[in-house]
Amino acid sequence: MLLLLLISSAFLLPWAGAGRIIGGKEVVPHSRPHMAFLKIKFVNQSGIHTSRCGGFLIRPDTMLSAAHCVAKRRIVNITVTLGAHNISVREQSQQRIPAARWVIHPKYSPVGYINDIVLLNLKTKAKINKNVKQIAFSGSNEGVTVGTKCRVAGWGRTAVEGRGSDVLMEVELKVQNDEPCKQLFHNYLRHSMMCVGDKNGKKTTYEGDSGGPFVCNQKAYGIVSRGVGTKPFPKVFTRISYFEPWIREQLRKFALQELPGSPSSD
Ligand SMILES: *[C@@H]1O[C@H](CO)[C@@H](O)[C@H](O)[C@H]1NC(C)=O
Ligand SMILES: *[C@@H]1O[C@H](CO)[C@@H](O)[C@H](O)[C@H]1NC(C)=O
């Protein structure tokens, strides 16, 4: 009996994870303390809806995400959860803070997801601790070479027909050259977007992962932006380095409005 159990579990184990992300795995809880979970309440003709996205903390009161996450007609409110692992539980480590305001890139276009970036300012500063930390982002002259493997995490769907994940999942994806994206997306712009993915199509980001950071050497270089239908490869991410001057300008404005004369932290 015991042997039978052992044998069957040995066969079952490899499948235990089969329904999970598209090729990713659960992260060690709280090992990605910059990750934020966004719950976006919005209204349309059929009533109130909730959508979810990822984001990441770059200052104790400021986050980055994808513009398409919030560029909905009428937003009721946005709640940001920091320090989370399982978002279905109210973990002690979690800090839930409403977004006070957000600035969508002035040239964002939903057609082609051009300039798909938004800065969100939180109502109160997050408490920085081992579960909640900011992450650095790439400067305007920092590139990442084709072939580099970077990581992207999210609470998005773990299967094409699945639901969002309770726990934070992560995949490693490679920076690609621009060709596969140019072919698939006629609005692809190489200066402000990056082409990313796993050529075998076994690993990918999916619905609900939008807005999360693409992290190479502990720095955010991209923001999960778009794909085509259920196609796992390639994906287009927002190239943060292109937007660095705009991000810095917004940060200065936030600082001026709220905390005149306060030192900026890095
Ligand atoms: C997350 O928490 C919920 C509620 O307690 C639980 O049902 C679920 O199994 C947890 N998910 C994982 C993957 O641990
Ligand atoms: C957001 O809106 C929902 C539904 O209207 C409400 O229950 C919730 O309290 C609101 N949250 C914040 C932070 O205002």
Ligand 1 binding pocket includes 167 (Cβ within 6 Å):
yes
Say which range, 19-33, 65-79, 144-158, has the weakest mean pLDDT: 19-33
- At 243, is the secondary structure helix, strand, or coil? helix
Contacts of 106 (CB under 8 A, 6+ apart): none
Distance in Å, CA 124 to ligand 2 centroid: 16
In a domain, residue 2? The reply is: no
Q: Which residues are catalytic, by number?
A: 68, 116, 210
Distance in Å, CA 84 to ligand 1 centroid: 12
When pLDDT is cut at 50, 70 and 90, the band that residue 77 belongs to is: very high
Ligand 2 binding pocket includes 98 (Cβ within 6 Å):
yes
Length of the chain: 266
Residue 238 has pLDDT above 50, yes or no: yes
In a domain, residue 5? The reply is: no
- Number of helical H runs and strand E runs in the chain: 4, 14
Domain containing residue 171: CATH number: 2.40.10.10
Contacts of 54 (CB under 8 A, 6+ apart): 35, 36, 37, 38, 65, 153, 154, 155, 156, 208, 209, 210, 211, 212, 213, 224
Together in a domain, 153 and 118: no
* Domain with 233 in it: 14-27+136-241
In a domain, residue 148? The reply is: yes
Residue 101 has pLDDT above 50, yes or no: yes
- Mean pLDDT confidence for 41-46: 91
Our count of domains for the chain comes to 2
Residue 181 has pLDDT above 90, yes or no: yes
Contacts of 25 (CB under 8 A, 6+ apart): 17, 169, 170, 171
Compute the distance between CA of residue 57 and CA of residue 47 in angstroms, rounded to an integer.
30
Average pLDDT of the chain, as a whole number? 85
Start-to-end CA span in the chain (Å): 60
For residue range 119-147, list pLDDT tens digits in order: 999 999 999 999 999 999 999 999 899 99
